[in-house]
Each structure stands twice: as structure tokens, then as C-alpha cells.
Structure 1
Amino acid sequence: MQNIDRSRFQRILLASASVSAIFVGSPALAQSADPQTNSAPVQTVAPVQAAPAQAEAPQAAPEQNTEADLSTQDIVVTAQFREQRLQDIPISITAVNAAQLEARSQTNLAQVADAAPNVSLKPQGASFGPSISASIRGVGQTDFNPAYEPGVGIYIDDVYYPQLTGAVFDLLDVDRVEILRGPQGTLAGRNSEGGAIKLYSRKPTGENGGFVEATYGSRNRIGLRAAADFKITDTLSGRLSGVFKQQEGFVDRIDYGCANPGSGVATARAPGDCTISKLGGVGYQAIRGILRWQPSDKLEVTLIGDYTHDEHTIAGEVLLTTATVNSPNTNAAPGVPYDNRFVCGPYCNYITTGQPAGTFSAPPVVPGANGKALAATSGTDRSLYDGWGVSGQINYNVNDTISLTSITGYRSFDTRFDSDDDLSPANIGFGTNHLTNWSFSQELRANAKVGDTINLTLGGYYFKQESVYDSVQDIRYVPVYPLQFRQPDPTNAEAKALFAHASWEPIENLTLSGGLRYTSETKDQTYYRLNYDGTINRFLDPFGATYGFGYSGPDTLDANGNGNTTETVTALSGLTAHYEAKRWDYRLAADYRLSDALLVYASFSTGFKGGGSNPRPFNANQVIPFEPEKLTAYEVGFKSDFFDRKMRFNVSAFLNNYKDIQIPVSLCPGAPCAARFNAGDARVKGFEAELTAFPVPGLAIDASLSYLDFHYIASSLNPLAAYPTNPGGVVADDPSGAPKWKFNAGAQYKIDLGETGSLTPRFDLNYQDKQYTGPTVIAGTRIRNFIPAYALLNARLTWQNADKDLEVSLEGTNITDKYYMLTIFDLRATGAGFRKGRPGTPREWALSVKKKF
């Protein structure tokens, strides 16, 4: 293991301890690392101990040094409730520290995922607001609706973040990011069946230091980042950090009538510049404050508060192709149907911010629909997200072998966004969306070292959240009903868990570990289908409109005043769907250190993602429940440090038994819908490899490669979710929604300029295979949608002065100006007529200056 300065390493461990479940002993260091070779004798650091460490008074330390942090020094993680070296833990983990993030120009969580094997975090299109899709090893979630569970657990300083909305976190002053692949049902709990992503803030040390960084770049990009660490008393220290980011969008929002005079589509703009705004902009501000109190060597208390304001133009999307929709309810103007005339180009669209008033034209077989007045709807092209959170962590060392930890967290957010899904002046559909959420969590852990060979953790967890998704929808492409309605639907969820984890070293170099977690969870979702004036919409909820909110009983009235008292009917408005589940998860692992340089391991683990009920029913019959997904994983791998620790090479292979997979469908029994079904089971296998190498002084190389093979088990498919029974469902040979192959490689070389400082060029290449996004049906033919494969090349050139307190960096992202897609959304099969996508950002450059103090 590479040697580093004793005091610096102790401070790193101390910072990790404030967010760890357990205090551990500080390693004993034998000598300092040789900066000329980036190597050191293996036996220089004693193994990290499980017993609680005595908290030490913080010592002054400089801000992180890029050169040191990119060496092969040990990364300490807390995935198994205690501090361990990354290379000693039998889990496939990608861990990235702050210096690596800076070197790779990674400033948000999605960018980190791009470089991690078998991990995908992508910002969603405008229809889903400021949210992400998330998957690890092909398991996750794409829909932001609070009735769905994420499938990948995201944690901020060990506090669970329960939603995909707002989860494209800026990596503001982080110490490290840990990505745990495979089900973490016993370690991270519910909704971590794909894996878990954990962000850890840099904790105060009382060093009275910090940094300020300013950035300017393409499309008037302006960025400011700063942090200050300060000593308040001998036992109390604080850290304050903030970020400001602003940038113009890159997708032109164009007035169609202005750009196409004589088309028959009206415009309110004078001839000339027809661009209304730039979509896909950035407007992000966040601040975080941390207080750390260490009154004795037994007690440490950390308080963290943060606030984020994210306001910008909505995601820039482009119309890829259409299926013609020609209806007086949807046409942009008389005789102007929705078709490919509204395909604008690679970086432009024709969205509007509302739909006009009108009169609905419907078949006469629908009583009251034909001739119904349609209200005008309006919104903006802005996305707004405000979120904040507070958390407290208490670590108490009872004695040398027992420690107690309490982690309390509260988070809340409020987001608003509007969406013109058809990206045109046609009246296909328009929605305004307002989502609020708060969550509270409390975790208690007790850690003990029993003798010299056993480490034990016992704990309990409680979680509660409440969400309200208040959406106003104006859907006119459905030819039968005038679907103008409001749905202010609340969703409340609660979970409780008890867990235990133990490790045992029966003989030297062999460790057996296992975990057990019991989870009980509930969820209640209440539905409302209202007119804009607050009355019940009779087209979506005829029984509610007739009998009132929450009615369930005999149908005593009909259109002729006669009743059917033998039939029970249910109002959709006021109906509450209840879900509950109880679950045991297990984990067993064995690892054996064949030598100082090589650890081999095997593990068995389980996890699950919670169920619920369809959050988007068009009538009471579509309140269809879906059960939890379950995953059982078998994994083998090795972790190695070769050539005097100049090369770290980690490999894992896995086989997953994936059961009761939740998929979106567009056809419920007897009618179109937007629901979730448990489609069936699948077998998933694959591998991951990660490499870090320092072949010669100054040169650092990192790379990763992953492969994923996904197959449905044909005999398991649910007939309600399968094609041809459901054109939006699955067939046995459908692929996963994750890329089969993924590759990342980066290299940098530090050129020593003597008293002038140093110059470090860096290049990064990211490749992603094609990615399946679901089926559509055109003229009775089922078509699969894919995001095409793409490769992105990024570069960075950094000058650092000799004192290592001043840096100037020039970075370029997507320097080949590759045109690629992040998302594809196809609703042609439902009659909406559009297939659209969100393109990734074109080539950009930026210049940054960073001063450390």
C-alpha cells in the first residue's frame, strides 16, 4: 500500500468517520510515499480495524492536492457499515474522489455515472421535468412519478433521497462518490436492488482554508464555486460551500408561423428573428453548511444543511418523426394536420406554451362529448426546482469495542414544469406539473468487535414521505373524450426495517460475511380527476360525478333515472389504493487474500423495488396494482494491486435472477392506459473491469469496461403485459433498457515545469452501446426504439503553480461535436403521433481559474 504523510492520512480517516457508521482505528504508517515512483512497499499500512477510534482534534491541512489524490493511495469506503479499504471489500464498487472529479471535468452525478461500468444516469426529457433515469446492471427506473420507486438507492451523507426528481446533483465540495453495483438489500435497504449511489460531503477539519473557482465558457457559461473551512473553537469547526452556474440553452425554440409564413399557422411575432428562447439552459445555485462538534474523544456530532434553487429553460428536445394526426381537435390550424412538417432540425423545435380554447368534435355515440367547450391552457418554457435538506449524525464510542451511530435526515422539494409534448403548435397535448415531496428518515446502528475475528452491526431504520403530484392535462388527440382534467394526487409512503451484518475471520486471510434485513413498507395513493373548476370530471369519473367523492356502492341512478342496485360501482375521485409488503433480504460473501496484491471473493445477495398501483388511470377500472420486483444476484470477482502498486485492476462477473419485472404498458384490459404491470422474469449476466495504472512517473491511466446480457424467460411473461395482447408490452427477446457494452478510458500526464509549476493534459473517451427505450406500434407492426451508440471525447489542460495553490484549466467536452441522444420518447402507438428525443450537448469549451487558500 502506498505510503502518505501520517497526519494527512489521519485527517482523511477522520473526515470519513463523520459520515461513517462506525469509528475505526487509524492505520499505522511506516514511511512516506516516493513522489517520483508513485509506489511504495505493500506492507506499510496496518489493516483498518473494526473497533471504534478515538476522535482526534482536527489539524490544519491544505485543500486536496490533485497529484497526491490520483496516486494509488487507499480509498476508504463504508459500504459494510464500517470503514474498510476499497480493495478489501467483497463488493463491486466504483469510488471517485474530489481530485478525480476535477481532473475529468465532472461536476454532476450523471457525468460520474458515464465513466462507471454498467451504470446509467441520464437527465430526462421535458415531459418528465428535472428528473433522471437511473439503472445499475440494467435495473432501475425511468419514470419520475412519486408512486414509483427508483430501483437505485441514492444517498447524500448517508441520508436516503427517495425520488428521481432533482437527482442530477451538482458535486458541490464532495469528498467522494461511491457507486455500489448489485443488490444492496441488506446494506442499503429497499429500492436498492440495482445498486446504490452514495455522495459524501467534505467535512470540516478546522483548517481555516478553502478555495474559490471561476469559470467562463461556451454559450455564456458562467460558474462560481467556493468553499471555506474554519475553526470556531477547539472542539467546533465549520465548512461553508456554494455553487452558481448559468448557461444559455442550445435548442432553439422557434415560432412556427413566423418561420413559415403562409402556412396558415398564426404568429404574434414580427418578421425577422423567429427564435423565442433557447431550451436546455442552466440556472443552478446551491449552498451547503456543515458544523462538526468533537467535545471528547468519544463523541462526534455533525450537522448538515443545504439548499438548491434550479431554474432554467426546460430540456431541449427535438421531434424525430411523426405519425399523422388529422383532427379538428388537434390541428395547428384548419387543414394543417400534425405531421413531419413540424420536424424542425437537430437543435430546434416549435413548442408552444399552451393550447387555445375551442369546441370538441367527437362521435355522437359519446353523450355530451360532441360540442363540449374546451378551455384554453397556458404555461411557460421554464423549469423550477427548489429543494433543501437537514441532517444530523451522532457517533458515540461507548468503549474500545462498541460504538453507536444515529443518522437523522429531512428533505423537501418543490418543482414546477410545463410540457408541450408534441413540440409543435398542434394541439396534441399540453400539461402543467407541480410536484411537492418531503421525507424523513431515522437510522440507528450499533457496532461491536467481538474478540479479534468478529465484527457485528445491528440497526433499525424508519422512513416516511409524502408527495403531491398536481398535474393539469389538456389531451386532445384521443378522439372520443375531451380529456381536460386536473389530478392533484397525494402519495404517502412509510417503511420500517431491522438489519444485522457480521464478518468473521476464521483463519488468516479468509473473511466470511453475511447480512439480514427485514423490511415492512406501505404506500397509499389517492386519486382525483377534476375539471379545471374543481368539480369531478364526468368523462373520466362518471360515478364520482354522479355520486360524489369516494363513493363505492350500488349504481342507483342512470341517464334515464333508473338504477341497478345489484351492481357495485366505484368513484375514481377520492379512491385510495393501498399497497403493503414485507420482505426479508439476505447477503452472504466470502473473500480470501491470496497475497498482498490479490483478493478473490464470491457473494450471494438479494434486493427488491417496492410495488404500488397505477398512478395514471383514466377510470376506476385502471387502478391496477403491481407487485415488488425482486432480484437475486450471484457474483465472483477479484481485486488486485500489482507492480509495486502501480496498477490496480478489479474485475467482477455476475448472474442475476430478476423476477416480477415492472414495465410500462399502453394497453390495460379493454382500453388504452399508462400503467405498470409485472411482466415476468429474466436472467441477467455480465461483467465489469476497472483499471488504474501509473506506469511511469507523472502518467496516470484509468479505464473501465462492462458487458450486460439480458434475456426474458418466455414461459414467465404475464399475458397482460406481453405482445400481441399488449402492443406496448414485452416479447421474450426484448433487450434490457441499458447498453450492452460500455467503455471508458482516460489518461493524463503531469509535466514538471520546475519553479513555473506543472502542466497536465488529460483526455477521456466514453463509449456507450445502443440502448433500448421501448416499443411502439405503427400500422400493426411492432417497432423497437433504440438510442444509437455513441462515443464522446473530452479533454482538459491544467496549469498549476509551484505552490499548488493556483490552477488554470482549459477544458473541452464532446470535442468531436458528436450528435447523440440522451432519451427517446415515442407515443405514436397511443395516437399522440410523435417520436421525440433529447440531444446531448454539442461541443463546449470552458476556462477555469481556481485559487486555494
Structure 2
Amino acid sequence: MKRFNGRLSVLAITISAALTSQNIMAAETDQQIKNDPTLERIEVTARKTAESLQHVPVAVTSVGAEQLAQNGISAMTEVQQFSPNTTLQASRGTNSTLTAFIRGVGQDDPLWGYEPGVGIYVDDVYIARPQGAVLDILDVERIEVLRGPQGSLYGKNTIGGAIKYVTKKMSGDVELDLKATFGNYGRQDYKVAGKIPVIDDKLYVGFALANLTRDGYGEFLQSDLPNQDLENYNKDVFAGRITVEFEPTDDLFFRFNYDKTTDDSNAKGGYRLLPSIVTDAPVPDSVYDSYTSMPTWNSVESEGFSLTAEYYINDTWSVKSVTSSRENYSKTNIDFDNTPERVFDVPAIYDDEQFSQEFQLNYDSDNLTFVSGLYYFDGESCGHFDAILENYGQSLSLPGLTREVTGCNNSESYAVYAQGSYNLTEKLSMTLGARYTTEEKTANVNNGLAFETVYPESGWIPGYVRGDVTFPEVLNDKEDWSRFTPRVGAEYQYSNDMMFFASYSQGFKSGTFNPRASGPEPAVDPEVVDSFEIGVKSEWNDNLRVNATAFYLDHKDRQFVTVLPTEDNSALSQRLGNIGKSTASGLELEIEYAAADNLNIFASIGLIDSSFKEVKSFDTDGSQIDISDSFTITNTPETTANLGVSYDIETSAGAFVVNGNYYYRSDYDLNVTDNLLTQDGYGLLNFGVNWYSNNGDWTAALHWKNITNEEYLVGNYAFLGAQNDDGSYAPGLGGDTTLIGYYGDPETISLTIGYSF
């Protein structure tokens, strides 16, 4: 099987291992350029209250707005470079579906009904589905990456961790920021953000708009459908946000947010790693080129609002309310086989809605700090896909064969939680937290077979009219669960600049029903992760920050699909069960060193050893067996490392910040079961130059990313039969040897010009 090698010099490995890590310059100051060699204070809200990073006994990385801009980070996925043992990547068939793993815990399949393992939050609002979750950087103050289960404060579906996207509160006078970015592949990004004080220091209106476009990294080499845009890996996104903030008194604060994103980027075509046995189309020369027999269009619409109210009762007590409603509607075309023939095509619709309400009661005094709350969530996650297998039976003369699956997996949950830290002595404190969640899920699945080519809607392809096609309901059920998830920890403040901590925490991922069920089957129970951590947070001589965490986690009741044997290999006959158990242990180290007034060095390293310990199955005699040897932890390199520098230069023409970093990921597997595709270790080398005018109005930045033009896999599809003696493979589902790869961004160069007044 072909592997793909990255390049990492021995010198880079040595430096990365020696310097290790980084919590990098996430602190924001009023100055654009830091002239003080001491480290800045970094503030985070990892425990739902503002605290210094160095006093939070949680493994958290915070990347601030200035650092995001100076590194040319335009999408949330790039933040993975700055957080050890973290994977944030655009998923397989689209540009905006997120694959998120932290410490080996996540979710590979983005189909409705499957729950994520890493929670995504925008201003304290949980984003339930991965569709549309690849957020572009717009009007952001910082992004926090919380590693490890966050079950007590953040609740379900944060068993790997949580990503927090935090926007900035408004203050001061009228502001308007304009930015334009131009780059190779025809990139043109235009952003405008501003604020208007309607009532000085009381009422503000803010807004942010972005139009982000880019030509494709590759193209669809063949399409028989008329009037198709043949760009592959292109970008066409419009995003907007409106914010109203009202602070009638010093003790009372309101914020209303509305945002909408429309992503009209094309569907993403994959690269065939094996020649097709059905068509004579050659394997493309570029990994960004593809073939398709489907429309190339794709559409993702996401919007929502939130209302936050905070009231400070007195110096110690405060209350907070967060109300939110969101919806997402996606229409996508995924050509699983990536050939000009309809071998295995999947047009799909995702339709999701959610409402959440959270009330907090918080207390903060010299010896006791706690956060408590009530949480309600109501989510509807529905979908529709047609698996078109026109080549079924190895004969293109058949009229077509379509397996259609539709349904919903809806969830309603309630939770009550509290977590507090108490100072037992001047140096020793203890943290206790717990959350009790009760959840009810209802699910229905329609699953049927039609001997014709069926699309979800009329007009899906030119001239197509959907007839009166109906399929039987095979599942209609409901189930409920309740779960108590505790956290206990101890912290020892050895000195003002050094804290040791140890903790045990638990999290769970919701139980669910099989969204592809072919008949009645019971729901699966929640997955549970137990995590143990010890760590240190330290600062030395005011210019060296070293934070380290060692962890062990036990992941039980993992939800996996067993493919049931059938005479008809188009049946997609599956049963979902709690059949797996895995463990992971590792180390995370982050370092920032202010080497001089104008020189910062930062580094990070994440090491992890993760594997399956048990996967239950049955042999042909019905006896239970363990098949864990055929399962692998995906999207989880044993080593992630980042080494970078930032150098400030003051001149009469303005101030410059020159920065660069080298990010390394060791090899990782792409398939959970019978892995056929491994991405070998690779490194990304990035460089940037930022300029600030003397009066602070003008900025310019030049960014060169993936300088060595590494090719690296971020997703795949594998549908192959048994391997033959000569190393070839028998055809799999769809009648072809389908092994498809999706790749990260190639070498890119961009110039950003900004003006503020």
C-alpha cells in the first residue's frame, strides 16, 4: 500500500524535543508590538470564569487575536499547530465539516445521529453538529483548546476536550477595521469589522462581514453534467455577525449576537489511490484533481443567535444566562468512488436545529470560588442520503440501484452542575465538581432499495424529476439515559510562579441510535472516559514559561458498527453496539521564552500512546472473540510538535514582526477498522512578516505557508474487498476498488493589507 512521506530533519526533531512546547503569546495588550522582555499575563475562561492561565489546573492552550493575525491563521483548523495532541481538520467531502480529535478521542463519521467527541463552543454556545463547524477567523479575541474530558462544566460530548471561540467585548470610541487579503490560487478575502457607541460606555453596536474566495487547488478532470464549475478545493464563503452590547450599570451586562454563514464552495473531490477497475480514467497527476459523475456544487447555510445576560449581585455573587438558537442546512454531493461513472455516489442533505438555555450562579471570594448552573438542550438532527450504486453487479447496463436512508436523531437533555475550588491552606487547594445529566433521544430511520437512480430532490441534476419514491420505516424508537460525571483535583501553589496539580475527571458521549439501521435495533449506551492528570505550571525569571501535563485515560463502551453478512452487498446492513475499549497515556509540554526585548521563542510537544484493548465480536460458531488487533485509533499521531520564533524590529518606517514556525505530525492512521491508509510523518514550515505603521492605522502582512509543499492526508474513504495473493484487492461496495484520499492545503502565499480608524 502506498504511503506518503513528509520531511523532518534530525536537527528540527532535536530542537523540538529540547525546547518542547508553547502556550504562545496568546495574551493581548493595547500595544501591537511587545517591547518588554517579560511574559504577558494570559487570561482564559476554561472554568467558565476569567482566570490567569497559570492558575488554572487544566491543560489549556490559548491563542489570541494578535497571534492569530501575525501567523496568518484564517480558519480554526490551523489552531491545531499550537495545541499538543490535537487534530482539527476539514473533513472528507466538504470544506466546512470538522474532524476534531484531542488525545485520541473524537468522531470519524459526521452522519446525523453520531455525536462528536470534542465540543465546539462560540461565546459559551455549544455547536452540536460538525457541519459548518470549520469556523473562519472573524472578530475573534482568542481561541482556547481545553484538553481532556470537560464533563463537569461543559457536559456531554466533551470526552476528548473542548474548543472555545471567544469574541471580544466592545469599549471605547467608534472603530472600523478593513482588511483585504490576496494570494495564489486567486485568493481574495475581504473583511470589515466595526463598532459604534450609540450611548457612550453604555450601548454599542458591532458588526463583522467577510467575503472569502479562492480558486481550486485542483480541478474535476471530467464531468458529463452540463454547466458544472470544475474547480476542486475552492472556497466561496460569506459570513456576517451583528452584536449589540448594553451595560446600563456597572453590575449589569447584556449581549445579543446574530451570525450567518453561507458556504457555496464546491463539493470536495478525492484522489484515487488505486486505479479503477470500472473505468479507464487514469489516476490523476495531482492529489487535488478528481473525477466525478455528480454535480460539483455544495451548499452549507448556518445561522444562529444568542442572548447573554450577566448581573453582579455584589462583590462575591453573580448570575448569568445564555440563551441560544441555531440551525444548519447542508446539501452536498459526495462521490465516494471519484470516477466519471456512477459507481458509488452519495447526494445528501443535513438539516439540524438546536436550542439551549443555561443559567449560572457563581461565587468568588478569597478562599472559595465556584461555578454552578442549570442547562437545557433540545436538538433535532435529521438527514437524507442516497447511495447510488449504478455499477452494482459489474454491469453498467443495469437501470441503477439506490439505497436511500432518511431519518432523525433528536435529543432533549437537562443538566445541573457545580464546581468549586477551596483554599485549604495558603498553598494547598482542592477542586470538586460534578454534573448530572438526563437525556432522552428519539429516532426514526427509513431505509429501502430502489432499482433506479434516485436523488433527494427534483432538479438535483439537470432534468431529474423525483417520482413518488417512498421507503419503509425500519426504526422508530426512543431511549433515555442519565449520567453523573465528577471531577476532583488538588492544587499546590509552591510559589507565586509555580503550581502543581493533579486531577481525576470523567466525561461521556451521548447514547444514540444507528442512523443507518436496516431494521429494529436497540440504542447504544453512552461512551465514558475516565481521565487522570498531573501537571505543573511555572514561570522562571519573568521570561520563561513552562507548562507540562501527563495524562492517562480509559475510554469505555465505545460505539462502533458491526457489518452484518448479507447476500446483497448493497444492503449497508449494520448494527451499532458498545463493543470497544481503548486507553491512552501521554505527555504535553508547552514553553515560551522571551529571550530578549524583541525575541520570543516558543515550542510545544505532545506525546501519546493510544490503542484498543478490547473489541467484542463473534466467530462463525457464535462464540465471542476479541478483534481489537484489527482496530486502530485514527487521526492521532504519536508525536505532535511545534517550534517557532517571533522577532520584533523597530524602524523609522514602522514596526515589523518577523515570525516562523515548524509544525510536525508523526504518522497516523485514517481508518478505524482494517486500516489501509497511513499518513507518514510530515512537517509544515511557515514564515511571515508583519508591518505596523507608526501611527497604528495601517498594517500589512506577508505569509508563506507549507513552504516545502508537503502533501498530507486529512481524510479518506475505503471500500475494498479481500486482498489477493498478488497484493491487489477484490472490489468492494459499488463494484470497484475504492481507496480515496483527501489532502491538506498545499504551499500558499498571501498578502494582507489592513486599515483601522
TM-score, normalising length: structure 2: 0.86
Structure 1 residue matching 2:741: 3-state secondary structure: strand
> 1:669: how far off?
8.4
Kindly state the Cα deviation for residue 67 of structure 1 after the two structures are TM-superposed: 3.3
Residue of structure 1 equivalent to 2:678 = 786
Write out aligned runs for 1:339-738 (5 A): 341-347=281-287, 349-354=289-294, 380-449=295-364, 452-479=366-393, 483-529=401-447, 572-573=472-473, 575-617=475-517, 619-620=518-519, 623=521, 625-643=523-541, 645-667=542-564, 673-674=573-574, 676-713=576-613, 716-720=614-618, 730-731=628-629, 734-738=632-636
Shift of the 667–123 alpha-carbon distance from structure 1 to 2, 3 Å rule, reads: farther
Describe the superposition over 1:434-463 as per-residue Cα deviations: whole angstroms up to 9, x where unpaired: 11111000000101246x412232210000
Aligned length: 697
Deviations 1:696-736 (A, max 9, x none): 111112211001101322xx431159999999974277445
Q: Structure 1: which amino acid aligns with 2:350?
A: L
Residue of structure 2 aligned with 1:162, choices 123, 128, 147: 128
8 Å CA contact 1:665–1:726 kept in 2: the answer is: no
Give the distance between the partners of 2:31 and 2:647, measured in 1 at CA: 18
Matches within 5 A, 1:823-838: 823-829=715-721, 830-832=732-734, 833-838=737-742
Moved more, 761-770 or 524-533: 524-533
Q: Given the alignment of the two structures, is residue 745 of structure 1 paired with residue 643 of structure 2, yes or no?
A: yes
Query: SS at the partner of 1:717?
Result: strand
Distance (whole Å) between structure 2 residues aligned to residue 282 and residue 68 of structure 1? 38
Q: How big is the shift at 1:515?
A: 0.3
CA contact (8 A) 1:455 1:503 kept: yes
1:222 and 2:188 correspond = yes
Query: Residues 625-684 of structure 1: CA distance to partner in whole angstroms, max 9, x if unpaired?
Result: 3221100000000001112x2111100000111111223444468975355432322221
Q: Equivalent residue of 1:425, what SS?
A: coil
Q: Distance in 2 between matches of 1:65 and 1:702?
A: 19
Secondary structure in 1 matching 2:629: coil
Say which is worse superposed, 156-165 or 720-729, in terms of deviation.
720-729
Q: Please state how far the C-alpha of 1:612 moved relative to its aligned partner.
A: 1.1
Say which of 125, 145, 150 aligns to 1:184.
150
Please identify which structure carries the higher strand content.
2
Distance, in Å, in 2 between the alignment partners of 1:490 and 1:693 is 51
CA contact (8 A) 2:401 2:450 kept: no
State the shift of 1:68 in Å. Answer: 7.3
Match of 1:321 among 252, 259, 274: 274
Counterpart for residue 81 of structure 1: 48
| Secondary structure, aligned partner of 1:680 | strand
Deviation at 1:427, TM superposition (A): 2.6
Aligned to 1:115: 82
1:397 Cα deviation after fit: 1.5
Does residue 98 (structure 1) correspond to residue 65 (structure 2)? The answer is: yes
Higher relative contact order (CA 8 A, sep 6+): 2
How far residue 390 of structure 1 moved from its aligned partner, in angstroms, is 0.5
Tell me the amino acid that sits aligned with residue 79 of structure 2.
Answer: V
Residue ranges of structure 2 left out of the alignment (5+ in a row):
1-27, 456-468, 722-731
1:468 is displaced (CA, Å) by: 2.0
Helix, strand or coil at the partner of 1:295: strand
Q: What is the letter of the counterpart of residue 149 of structure 1?
A: E
Alignment match, 1:796: 688
Residue by residue, what CA displacement relative to the aligned partner does 1:734-758 show, whole Å, maximum 9, x if unpaired?
A: 44541111011111211111x3112
Q: 1:620 to 1:694 in 2, by over 3 A?
A: same
The whole-number CA distance in structure 1 between the counterparts of 2:700 and 2:248 is 40
**Is the CA contact (8 Å cut-off) linking 1:251 and 1:316 kept in structure 2?**
no
Distance 1:476 1:726, change over 3 A: farther
Does the 8 Å CA contact 2:409/2:442 hold for their aligned counterparts? yes
Superposed CA deviations along residues 764-795 of structure 1, whole A, max 9, x for unmatched, are 1111111112267xxxxx55421222111111
The structure that has the greater radius of gyration is: 1
- The alignment partner of 2:642 has SS state of strand
**Residue 69 of structure 1 contacts residue 97 of structure 1 at CA under 8 Å; is this kept in 2?**
no
Relative to structure 1, the CA distance from residue 459 to residue 635 in structure 2 (aligned partners, 3 Å threshold; closer, same or farther) is same
Q: Which residue number corresponds to residue 18 of structure 2?
A: none
The worse-fitting range, judged by mean Cα deviation, of 64-73 and 186-195 is 64-73
The TM-score with structure 1 as length reference comes to 0.77
Note if contact 2:183-2:751 (Cα within 8 Å) is conserved in structure 1.
Answer: yes
How far is 1:382 from its partner?
A: 1.4
2:615–2:627 Cα contact (<8 Å) kept = no
Partners of 2:315 and 2:322 in 1: CA distance: 21
Tell whether the 8 Å contact from 1:322 to 1:828 is kept in structure 2 after alignment: no
Alpha carbons 2:368, 2:421 under 8 Å: kept? yes
Identity score, percent: 27
Residue identity matched to 2:381: S
Distance 1:446 1:513 in 2: 17
Assess if the C-alpha contact under 8 Å between 1:203 and 1:290 holds in 2: no
Relative distance call for 1:94 and 1:798 in structure 2 (3 A) is: same
Alignment-derived partner of residue 772 in structure 1: 669
One-letter identity of the residue aligned with 2:80: A
Deviation for aligned residue 1:416: 0.8
Distance in 2 between residues matched to 1:722 and 1:164, nearest whole Å: 37
Alpha carbon RMSD of aligned pairs, Å? 3.1
Amino acid at match of 1:768: R
